[in-house]
A and B are shown apart, each in its own frame.
Chain A
Amino acid sequence: MLPRPAIGTVAAEARVSIKTVSRVINNSRRVTAATREHVMGVIRRLNYSPSPTARRLAGHRSYLVGLPFDNPYASYVTEVQSGSLASFRDANYQVVMHACDARSPQIADEIHLFVDSVRVDGVILTPPLSDMSAVIAVLESEAIPFVRIAPSTRSDPARSIFTNDREACAAMTRHLICLGHRRIGFVIGQLDHAGTVQRYNGYCDGLETSGLNRSVRLVAQGDGTFESAVECTRRLLEKPSGTLPTAIVASNDAMAAGVLTAARMMGIAVPDELSIAGFGDEPLAAQMWPRLSTIRQPLHAMAQQAATLLMRQLRGETADHLQQPPRLIESTLVLRQSTAAARAP
């Protein structure tokens, strides 16, 4: 980042007091037109911009909230943007989108530049950014309020919105066991997303509470995409018939669609011979055939809550006020036609 000229530099250059520069910046009426013109000239020449912290102290707001994101799923991005806008709308806040690459070593600088140049009042962080300490450190040092959506730990409850991925996946696994399934496969998603691990752990919990053993032969590692799930499923289903899974849970809906496609290509009937469950309840889930049993992730509601929480911070409500139990919005099972009772052996 370029070094930013300080307000003192502007004052010295314009041969006025710092107080006067500040008055010009804040549009105070107690400055003569000539002085104002003169100071503005220097500000433009030096390309000076007041630090966001200073501006906030001075009571100025941009009414812009930053939504940086690195998420390959259009449905995720769409739900978060529409959910947060539903809250912001009435308060006249607007959302500035910023696509970034969380794996870039410059991610913290990039977020810094973004919040600085747009002069956002606050930021909403989505996974995987909501778990990145470098990003959080930048926002804290700039004193920019932020809220984290679905961080992997419960260590920052005052600024986080949680959901229960893990419990929901355990519940789906138990549901399949209740339907008589004993060999339940799992297709793991993209590993650098915290939710992926939670979902897999939930599957393991579900097996364990029902007294079933985990088997590595029933688990495949995908990368979150439809195509990877097609490959994984082929491997899971190309086994001697006695060891085949009768149900497969996928880490997201696009992957569940991949499982379905692989099953169809191999001539396996769904749900008669194979039950399939996804995660997310994206529009896709209800648009495939058979319609997908899945877990509804309350993204819209989470984003809406995140926006509400952020606005409370922006209004200056104290941290004490914000100390409440973790804000948890539950994921729920949505049972459709892709899951059914296991066929009698």
Chain B
Amino acid sequence: MTNATIHDVAAQARVSIKTVSRVINNVKTVQPQTRERVMRVIRKLDYHPNPSARGLGGSRSYLIGLLYDNSCAYYATGVLAGVLETCRAARYQVVLHPCDYEAPTLAAEISRNVRQSRADGVIVTPPLSDMRTVIDALEEQSIPFVRIAPAEHTNDLHCVFTNDRESCAKMTEQLASLGHKRIGFVVGNPDHAAVADRYRGYRDGLRACGLQLDKKLVVQGYNSYNSGAECGRKLLNLPAAKRPTAIFASNDEMAAGVLAVAHGMGLAVPEDLSVAGFDDVPLASQVWPALTTIRQPIPVMSARAAELLLRQLRGEPDDRSGHIVESTLTFRQSTGPAPNRNLVDRTRNGRLAKSIAAVQEESGE
């Protein structure tokens, strides 16, 4: 931390302290040129309004920061629920630190924001939790932190994660046991390491069932609904004999995209195509048919993360157990047995059903 004071800024900028204060507080009575000059000096000296003037009574602010990427605002809201739950009991409050994980100034911005808010510690969500620059910045500033779902977590005490890989292997095995031989996979955003890790689980699952990995059945998505729809189109436009009978997407939004494409092509789900997702966000049970998915216990994970952080802040020894929160398979209506390829049979049954309906209609039913 630097020790530049408001006096230093005023002296360098050759203005009164009152003027500096007006610039900081965005008062309109300051001339634009003056404002510019003062802001330049503030940046040059790396001056920050004295935090001790903003709160009294010891070094604690009783604030916990939540660090998240702007594109993951919805995920952050889920995390927030769990964090708030824990913080409420401990009388901590949660301050938001949205950022842009692709910004070149990311590390500096995080340091500044956390310092300015005076948060006692922060919770770091993906993809930030996988970024060396972010972790370095926090360590440099001695800001206590806990990471949620980083991909590399074996030798880190301060993180909470789930068993993405194992649960994806299980889902793949389940689909195989329903008779699916060609199971498509939609890979997640490579920048989100834990999501990308789900692909490994899929391959483990195939291997366990003795199925060959077919690269044509694997497409790259970017976690969004639209990217899922795009991937769905690619997979379902394969020639009928090569087309997957089940598609497993790395998150629910992409699975919803696949589902929409299937509907648009007139494919019945799950009769013609099974679809599975990951996360179990509300969307999963609000689409038709409701999605089979893997419930990632985000509120439980984030509540656990907040507990770990509070323990750090209290200086309590770290408890090694219970940093992993298991995900569970949730079966709904979007998955079913692999379609019977005997098309003649299906057509005949279809005609039969139609003729029964026709008879009922004629009889005035």
- Residues of A whose CB lies within 8 Å of any CB of B are 25-27, 43-44, 47-50, 59-64, 74-75, 77-78, 81-82, 85, 91-92, 94-99, 114, 117-119, 226, 254, 257-258, 260-261, 264, 283-284, 286-291, 311, 314-316
A–B complex contacts, Cβ < 8 Å, 22 sampled: A25-B56, A27-B50, A44-B57, A59-B21, A61-B49, A62-B55, A63-B117, A75-B74, A81-B96, A82-B70, A92-B116, A98-B94, A117-B62, A226-B282, A257-B286, A260-B288, A284-B283, A284-B286, A289-B259, A289-B287, A315-B27, A315-B28
B residues within 8 A CB of A258? 286
Q: Which residue on B lies nearest to A46, using beta carbons?
A: B57
With an 8 A cutoff between CB atoms, is B84 at the interface? yes
Q: Are A64 and B53 in contact (CB under 8 A)?
A: no
A97 contacts across to B, CB distance below 8 A = 80, 84, 93-96
* Interface status of B58 (Cβ within 8 A of chain A): yes
Closest chain-B Cβ to A320's Cβ sits at a distance in Å of: 15
Question: From A89, which residue of chain B is reached at the shortest CB distance?
Answer: B98
- In this complex, the member of B49, B57, B84 whose beta carbon has the largest number of chain A beta carbons within 10 angstroms is B57
Once the chains are docked, how many angstroms separate the CA of A291 from the CA of B261?
A: 12
A116 CA / B78 CA spacing, docked (Å):
26
Contact: A254 with B80, CB < 8 Å? Answer: no
Question: Is residue B97 within 8 Å, beta carbon to beta carbon, of the partner chain?
Answer: yes
> Which residues on the A side are within 8 Å of B289 (C-beta)?
264
Also in contact, A311 and B26, with CB within 8 A (given A61-B54, A99-B88, A287-B283): yes
Q: Which residues of chain A are near B238, meaning CB under 8 Å? A: none
- B70-96: CB near A (< 8 Å → 1, else 0) gives 100110111011001000100101111
**Which residue of chain B lies nearest to A291 when distances are taken between CB atoms in the complex?**
B260
Contact A289 B260 (CB under 8 A): yes
8 Å CB contact of A117 from B56, B93, B263: B93
Query: In the complex, A185 Cα to B44 Cα: how many Å?
Result: 63
B285 in the interface (beta carbon within 8 A):
yes
B56 contact set on A, CB distance < 8 A: 25, 43, 49-50
Residue of A nearest to B229 (CB): A287
Do A82 and B264 have beta carbons less than 8 Å apart? Answer: no
Q: Which interface class (under 10, 10 to 19, 20 to 34, 35 or more) fits B?
A: 35 or more
Once A43-B57, A74-B77, A289-B288 are accepted as A-B contacts, the answer to whether A99 and B84 lie under 8 Å apart by CB is yes
Q: How far, in angstroms, from A61 to B21 measured CA to CA in the complex?
A: 11
* Contact residues in A for B49 (Cβ distance below 8 Å): 61, 63
Interface residue from B52, B91, B116 paired with A94 (Cβ < 8 Å): B116
Q: A49-B57, A62-B55, A287-B283 are in contact. Are A82 and B94 (CB under 8 A)?
A: no
Cβ < 8 Å to A, chain B residues 281-306:
282-283, 285-290
Asked whether A61 lies within 8 Å of B96 as measured between CB atoms, the reply is no
The smallest beta-carbon distance between A272 and chain B, in angstroms, is 14
Instruction: Provide the residues of chain B in CB contact with A119, threshold 8 Å.
Output: 54-55
Convert B254-294 into 0s and 1s, putting 1 for each residue whose CB lies closer than 8 angstroms to a CB of A.
00110110011000000000000000001101111110000
Residues from chain B with a CB closer than 8 A to the CB of A316 are 27
Complex: chain B residue closest to A25, CB-CB: B56
B220 is an interface residue with CB less than 8 A from chain A: no
Point out the residue from A50, A61, A98, A261 that lies within 8 Å of B25, measured CB to CB. A61
Knowing A43-B56, A74-B78, say if A288 contacts B95 (CB, 8 Å): no
Q: Which residue of A lies closest to B263 (CB)?
A: A289
Name B112's closest neighbour in chain A (CB-CB).
A92
A97-B96, A98-B94 provided; 5 other pairs, C-beta below 8 A? A63-B116, A74-B282, A92-B116, A311-B26, A315-B25
B63 within 8 A of A: yes
Instruction: Check if B117 sits within 8 Å of A64, measured CB to CB.
Output: yes
CA distance A117 to B27 in the complex (A): 26
For B113, give its contact among A43, A81, A94, A289 (CB under 8 Å). Answer: A94
Contacts A59-B21, A62-B55, A315-B28 known; A94 to B288 CB distance under 8 Å? no
The B129-143 residues at the A interface (CB cut-off 8 A) are: none
Question: Which of chain A's residues have a CB closer than 8 A to the CB of B70?
Answer: 82
Contact B54 A77 (CB under 8 A): no
Q: Is there an interface contact between B288 and A264, defined as CB atoms closer than 8 Å? A: yes
Q: What B residues does A286 contact at CB under 8 A?
A: 225
Look across to chain A and name the residue whose beta carbon is closest to the beta carbon of B65.
A94
In the bound complex, what is the Cα–Cα distance between A61 and B113 (angstroms)?
15
Q: Residue among B21, B117, B263, B286 with the most chain A CB within 10 A?
A: B286
A98 engages B93 (CB within 8 Å): yes
Contact B57 A261 (CB under 8 A): no
Kindly provide the distance from the CB of B257 to the nearest chain A CB, expressed in whole angstroms. 7
Is B120 on the interface with A (CB-CB < 8 A)? no
Is the CB–CB distance between B26 and A254 below 8 Å? Answer: no
Residues in B with CB closer than 8 Å to A64 are: 63, 95, 117
Verify B225–A283 contact, CB threshold 8 A. Answer: yes
Q: How far does the alpha carbon of A258 sit from the alpha carbon of B113 in the complex, in Å? A: 41
Contact across chains for A62 and B253 when beta carbons are under 8 A apart? no
A77 in contact with B225 given A62-B55, A288-B287 (CB within 8 Å): no
Known contacts A59-B21, A85-B96, A94-B113, A288 near B288 by CB under 8 Å: yes
Cβ contact within 8 Å between B88 and A62: no
- Check A95 against B27 for contact (C-beta < 8 Å): no
Is A94 touching B263 in the complex (CB atoms < 8 A)? no
Q: How far is the CA of A287 from the CA of B290 in the complex (A)?
A: 13
C-alpha gap A47/B56 in the complex (Å)? 10
Residue of A nearest to B64 (CB): A96
Could you say which residues of chain A place their CB within 8 Å of the CB of B58? Answer: 44
| Chain A residue with the shortest CB-CB distance to B252 | A287
Say how far B61's CB is from chain A's closest CB, in angstroms.
9
Instruction: Name the distance in Å between A132's Cβ and chain B's nearest Cβ.
Output: 20
Please determine whether A94 and B96 come into contact, CB atoms closer than 8 angstroms. yes
Chain A residues with CB under 8 A of B257: 287
Contact partners of B84 in chain A: CB under 8 A: 97-99
A315 touches B26 (CB 8 A): yes
CB atoms of B54 and A257 under 8 A apart: no
- Collect the chain A residues with CB atoms within 8 Å of residue B63's CB: 64, 96, 118
For B80, list chain A residues within 8 Å (CB).
77, 97
Please tell me which one of the listed residues A47, A48, A78, A114 contacts residue B93 in the complex, with CB atoms under 8 A apart: A114
Return B115 CB to nearest CB of chain A, in Å: 11
How many Å lie between the Cα of A114 and that of B87 in the bound state? 12
Q: Verify B26–A91 contact, CB threshold 8 A.
A: yes
Q: Which residues of A contact B225 (CB under 8 A)?
A: 283, 286-287
A77 to B260, CA, bound (A): 27
B292 to chain A, nearest CB (A): 15
Question: CA of A291 to CA of B55 in the docked complex: distance in angstroms?
Answer: 50
Q: Say whether A96 contacts B93, CB under 8 Å.
A: yes
In the complex the two chains form, is A96's CB within 8 Å of B26's CB?
no
